[in-house]
Amino acid sequence: MTNFAATKAMFELPENILYLDGNSLGPLPTAAKSRVQNVLTDEWGELLITGWNKAGWMGMPTGLGDRIGRLIGAEPGSIVVGDTLSIKVYQAVASALELNPDRRIVLSDNGNFPSDLYMADGLLRSLGPDYELQVVDPENIADSITENVAVLMLTEVDYRTGRMHDMKSLTELAHANGVVTVWDLAHSAGAIPVDLAGCNADFAVGCTYKYLNGGPGAPAFIYAAPRLSAKVRPALSGWLGHEAPFAFDLDYRPGSGIERMRVGTPPVIQMAALESAMDVWDMADIADVRAKSIELTELFIRLVESSCPDLTLASPRDPQHRGSQVSFRFSEGYAAMQALIARGVIGDFRAPDTMRFGFTPLYIDETDVTKAAEILSDIMQKSEWDKPEYKVRHKVT
Ligand SMILES: *Cc1c(COP(=O)(O)O)cnc(C)c1O
């Protein structure tokens, strides 16, 4: 059984802040402070370039990949860390398309995170006018999977509402139609149990600064099924994905397995922080995290619905169809979120009217959830959101 009091004690959580935004940016694991300091002083400071060998910097992308893989049911050696998620989406979709050379359609849904759609669109434009990004309503995905589709690109958990796609059944349906799948696990990794190998997934990508707590700008990850990785030809064929980067050959030869999805020099300092974050995950069982997350989201929905009649639940009511976040719609949602933040409850806002709250059992418990709901109810009863200063839009919402 995961000891959540112990994991909570491993994070820096400012006093008087109730942090319900770990779905956007996880908090600082305390150990990351000394770990990053050591990388700066003892590794970079002392070892200089020899750190790549002596401190194992070059092996961090695959070492971290395996540690993330444990949370999402990936085979050892099937994940590598690096770049941003948008870049990893591009890489995965490009490789998936190449595995289906006679088809031209990438299918996705309008609940997907815009950057995934933008990246796919940009890639398809560079491939030529025959290529098409088909975007349908999430409920219509299954019906749109046909033998014309090359790639199914979906984010498992909707970033606005927490609605979940059924990865196993959609992957099966895709394969039955000869479609290659790309799953974005941005709101899944560290939030819900994922079984990539068991679902027979082809490609998956995700980020490490949300539920995994790797810090702002922490690198993304990419998964390719072991049955595919030897066939994949990376579109972003950088030197560190080459079979022998230090041979400095003029011709590109892909590296072995998932290593070929590396692009350039990895972000060592940021990966050191991510290693400390993964040390916390070593103490957690993702099944316990899921069970606790369901308890917390159910509690929050119950408290908010009973005390805030102006808020409408935007997330699925059935916890089996909901990730680890809860969203409510309110016409003045932006201002209400600013009023909440002013009172120390941090969630976020997604246009046009959605107030979003993330639930992260590693460091959020029932007491936090109860207090947050009380403050929200107080703000709603007093219309505390109705002040000009709460209506000024900031750059990051
Ligand atoms: C958070 C998120 C991103 C962000 O991509 P970055 O390149 O890391 O900024 C992309 N896609 C999805 C589905 C996300 O949730």
For residue 397, the model assigns a pLDDT of 81
CA of 264 to the centre of ligand 1 (A): 20
Residue 150: what pLDDT?
98
Q: In Å, what is the CA distance from 169 to each residue of 141, 165, 172, 181, 341?
A: 11, 9, 5, 12, 39
- How many whole angstroms from 86 Cα to the centroid of ligand 1? 6
Residues in the ligand 1 pocket, defined by CB under 6 Å: 84-86, 113, 115-116, 155, 159, 184, 186-187, 207, 220
Q: For the chain, how many helices (H) and strands (E)?
A: 15, 15
- pLDDT for the residue 175: 98
Q: How far is the CA of 314 from the centre of ligand 1 (A)?
A: 21
Find the 115 Cα to ligand 1 centroid distance in Å. Answer: 6
Length of the chain (residues): 397
Tell me the pLDDT tens digit for each residue of 301-326.
Answer: 999 999 999 999 999 999 999 999 99
Catalytic residue among 210, 262, 322, 350: 210
pLDDT number for residue 393: 87
Tell me the HSE value of 59 on the side-chain side, using a 13 A CA sphere.
9
Residue showing tokens 């299954």: 142
The residue whose two tokens read 């790549």 is: 52
**Site to substitute for ligand 1 among 90, 108, 113, 188, most atoms within 8 A of C-beta:** 113
- Cα separation, 24 vs 213, whole angstroms: 9
Residue 13 Cα distances to 10, 47, 165, angstroms: 9, 33, 32
pLDDT tens-place values along the chain, 397 residues long? 999 999 999 999 999 999 999 999 999 999 999 999 999 999 999 999 999 999 999 999 999 999 999 999 999 999 999 999 999 999 999 999 999 999 999 999 999 999 999 999 999 999 999 999 999 999 999 999 999 999 999 999 999 999 999 999 999 999 999 999 999 999 999 999 999 999 999 999 999 999 999 999 999 999 999 999 999 999 999 999 999 999 999 999 999 999 999 999 999 999 999 999 999 999 999 999 999 999 999 999 999 999 999 999 999 999 999 999 999 999 999 999 999 999 999 999 999 999 999 999 999 999 999 999 999 999 999 999 999 999 998 888 8
| Whether residue 352 has a cis bond before it, omega within 30° of 0 | yes
Closest residue to atom 13 of ligand 1, CA basis = 113
Rg of the chain taking only CA atoms, in angstroms:
22
CB distance 287 to 193 below 8 Å = yes
Structure tokens at 38: 């050591």
> Which H or E element spans position 150?
strand 149-155
Dihedral of CA 9/15/21/26: which sign?
Answer: negative
Q: What is the pTM of this model?
A: 0.97
Measured CA to CA, the distance from residue 79 to residue 263 in angstroms comes to 14
328 C-beta neighbours (distance < 10 Å), count: 24
